[in-house]
Structures are given as structure tokens and as C-alpha cells.
Amino acid sequence: MTLFFASANLLKIFGDTDVFGQILTIGLGVFSLIAWTVMFGKYNELKRLRDLNLAFEQRLREERTLLDLPESLRNKRSIPYADLFADAVEAYWRAASILKEKGEDNSRSRLEHSENAIQRAIARQLLRYEASMIFLATIVSGAPFLGLLGTVWGVMEAFSAMTGATASIRDLAPGVSAALMTTIAGLVVAIPSMFGYNFLIGKVKQLSTELENYASSLADRLELESKN
């Protein structure tokens, strides 16, 4: 029952808000829905990618050699670890082919090309991990300011309407409470987005560290195999 009256009171306050405040409140509500969609989507994406990475890494551990693995295993570009592996092996053999034609073929040159390819693949996958995070950060920092803008505008309108009249707190209360509605809306959007952003940033850092460790391990294995 209390929740019902609270909701009714919020609707009344929203109705008392001017058009600018209502537009801001509705816009913040839309941003909130988008933010929650992005947060859940990003969490599921990062969890799925980590599971795929671990499965692919386990698959490589079972192989005695990496350089001679079939091409079908290198075509799984949707898996970050597989993308690094594919770029590394393809760069290795491409360098071997070109250097052999020039009569300059040696394992060190092959490995240098392979390691460069790994670094490019890492940068590409890090951008993939961090996708959508800028949008969340923008909502976290921008929503409170949009709410404050609506409040300042509403308070200014409330005082402007009382110009030339004897104003009291009772007369100003409806306009001020309506103005504060946008501040509440901004905080309701920003606070969950802030917690979600910090949580997801932690996940991104975890996956980024795991990616770099995997890249180092991959480079070590390729170096050992090239010397055999």
C-alpha cells in the first residue's frame, strides 16, 4: 500500500514538472534501460569469451606441436585465444616463405614476425573486451549532471513564476519538488551504472591479464618448437 501511494506521489510530481524536466526524466529513464541492457550483455559476453578461451587453451595443451596443427583449428576467430594463435602461426609461416625466397630464412626472424602478430592481435582483442565500456562511463558521469540541469531549470522556473507575488514555502514546494525529480532520476541512473561499470572493468582487467599471459605462453611454445 505504501509503495502504491509512493508511486502515485511520484506520478503527481512528474505531472507537475515542466516539459523540459519531463523530457529529461524520460530521457534518463531510457538511458537507464540501455545501461542495464549493456551491463547484462557485457557480463554475459565476457563470461562466454572466458569459457571459450579456457576451452581453447586446454585444447592446445593436449597438442604436442602447434606449428603443424590443421587450419580448421585456426579458423575460430571468434575466440580471442584462437585469434592470437591463428595470427601467430600464419605470420610465422608467411615469414618463413618470404625469407626463404630471399635466402635469409632463420628461426629468429620467423619468431619476430610471429611475436609482432601476437601483439597486434592482443591490441585488437583488448578493444573487443573494452567495447561498450565508454558508453557506461559516459552514463555514470553524465546522468547526475543532466539531473542537476533539470533541477536548476525547474527551480529557476518555480521562482520566476512567483515574481511579483508574495511567495511562501508552501507555494514554492510543488515547483521545487518537481525540479528535484530530475536529480533523483539522474542518481537512479548513475549509481547502478557506476557499480556495474566498476564490476565490469574488473572483469575486463582479469581477461586482459589472462590474454597477455596466454600470449607469453604461446610465444614460448613457438620459440621452443622452432628450435627443434
Amino acid (one-letter) located at 191: I
**Confidence grade of residue 3 (pLDDT, cut at 50, 70, 90):** very low
pLDDT tens, 108-124? 778 888 899 999 999 99
Q: For position 7, what pLDDT does the model report?
A: 46
62 or 30, which is more confident? Answer: 30
Q: For position 23, what pLDDT does the model report?
A: 85
**Confidence grade of residue 36 (pLDDT, cut at 50, 70, 90):** very high
**C-alpha separations of 52 from 81, 145, 225 in Å:** 8, 40, 25
Q: For position 103, what pLDDT does the model report?
A: 67
Concatenating the DSSP letter of every residue in 151-179 gives HHHHHHHHHHHTTTS---HHHHHHHHHHH
Give residue limits of the domains in the chain.
Answer: 17-226
The number of C-alpha atoms within 13 Å of 176 and in the hemisphere containing its C-beta is 9
Q: CA–CA separation, 112 vs 110, rounded Å?
A: 5
**Confidence grade of residue 161 (pLDDT, cut at 50, 70, 90):** low
Q: What is the pTM of this model?
A: 0.81
**Confidence grade of residue 214 (pLDDT, cut at 50, 70, 90):** very high
Q: CA–CA separation, 83 vs 32, rounded Å?
A: 34
Q: For position 72, what pLDDT does the model report?
A: 65
